Amino acid sequence: MTALRSTRTTRRLAGAAAVALAALALTACQNGTGLKDGGAATASDSATAPPSPTGATSPAPGSPAPGSPAPGSTKTGTGTGKGTGPGTGPGTGSGSGEAKGGSSDPAAAAGNRVLCNGSNTEVTVQPVARPLNHMLISVKNTGSKSCDLTYYPVLRFDEMQWAPAPRQETHPQAVVSLAPGQSGHAAAMLAAADGSGEGGTTGQKLTIAFQGRTPNSSGGASATPSLPAKGIYYDSSLTVTYWQQNIEDALGS
């Protein structure tokens, strides 16, 4: 009887030892390479997303993309140079470039223009067969700047005390401007073809005066072109055209 009780006690002690060893093994497993109870899960653990291939975090739905303006704001930018380059997002650009539309000839630039007169031109006169009793007046710009021929030439033969009237129907739409080396023209009707003119005479000397920016003002030095040896015949019907850009307009042909 005593031996039987001793055997049961021994088995109970062995079972208790086995339970203690199992508990000890479980604890060691938790602290080493076995499963570990980390406690209750947190929101940050479950919301963590894997990084994108570029290492940037994707924006949350409804939020503006990086570098874009927030709703209700405006993003502007400025730039210099010519042309436009690629860009993203709304914006405005400003730049400076070469001005266009002006004359490419430095001699014709504003501030580099002068009046044509006897000091910067070469003036010639030539009687023509057609129209009858007409004389062509040509002015060539011999200066280094563009010059303007304003209104009409003021003619004076010898000591003539009156000025020939201009023919208003020849008034050009714009002032005749001559670049260096260019020529402008006018014509004088010397005498009436039907002989209705009075006081016909032959002039041996001709003085041509140039007008300024306002009518009948001085435009500078006068010119005294050479005349044919026999002189130029004219009468009281002597008139003159406005300055023209070409010979055809001056002679009306």
Query: DSSP for 13-64?
Result: HHHHHHHHHHHHHHHHHHHTTS-----S--HHHHH--PPPTTSPPPPPTTSP
What mean pLDDT is predicted for residues 44-55? Answer: 40
What mean pLDDT is predicted for residues 198-202? Answer: 94
Of 209, 206, 208, the closest CA to residue 233 belongs to 206
Q: Copy the structure tokens of residue 23.
A: 């508990």
Instruction: Reply yes or no on whether the pLDDT at 16 is more than 80.
Output: no
What mean pLDDT is predicted for residues 223-240? Answer: 97
Q: Determine the Cα–Cα distance for residues 125 and 188; give it in Å rounded to an integer.
A: 10
Could you tell me which residue, 106 or 176, shows the higher pLDDT? Answer: 176
In this prediction, residue 232 carries a pLDDT of 97
**Structure confidence at residue 95 as a pLDDT band (50, 70, 90):** very low
Contact 172, 243 (CB under 8 A): yes
Could you tell me which residue, 155 or 91, shows the higher pLDDT? Answer: 155
* Residues paired with 209 in a beta bridge: 154
Instruction: Reply yes or no on whether the pLDDT at 233 is more than 50.
Output: yes
Could you tell me which residue, 174 or 112, shows the higher pLDDT? Answer: 174
Mean pLDDT (the chain, rounded): 73
Q: Copy the structure tokens of residue 241.
A: 């055209």
- Residue 79 sits at φ, ψ, to 5 deg, of -150, 165
What mean pLDDT is predicted for residues 2-28? Answer: 48
Question: In this structure, what DSSP letter does residue 90 have?
Answer: S
Instruction: Reply yes or no on whether the pLDDT at 82 is more than 90.
Output: no
Torsion of CA 2, 3, 4, 8, to 10 degrees: 100
Could you tell me which residue, 5 or 77, shows the higher pLDDT? Answer: 5
Q: Copy the structure tokens of residue 166.
A: 């201009």
Predicted TM-score (pTM) of the model is 0.58
What mean pLDDT is predicted for residues 222-246? Answer: 97
Q: Copy the structure tokens of residue 76.
A: 């502007």
Q: Determine the Cα–Cα distance for residues 199 and 190; give it in Å rounded to an integer.
A: 12
Q: Which residue has the tokens 């076995």?
A: 34
Which three-class secondary structure state does DSSP give residue 98?
A: coil
Question: In this structure, what DSSP letter does residue 145 have?
Answer: S
Q: Determine the Cα–Cα distance for residues 124 and 208; give it in Å rounded to an integer.
A: 10
Please report, for the chain, how many H helices and E strands are present, in that order: 3, 12
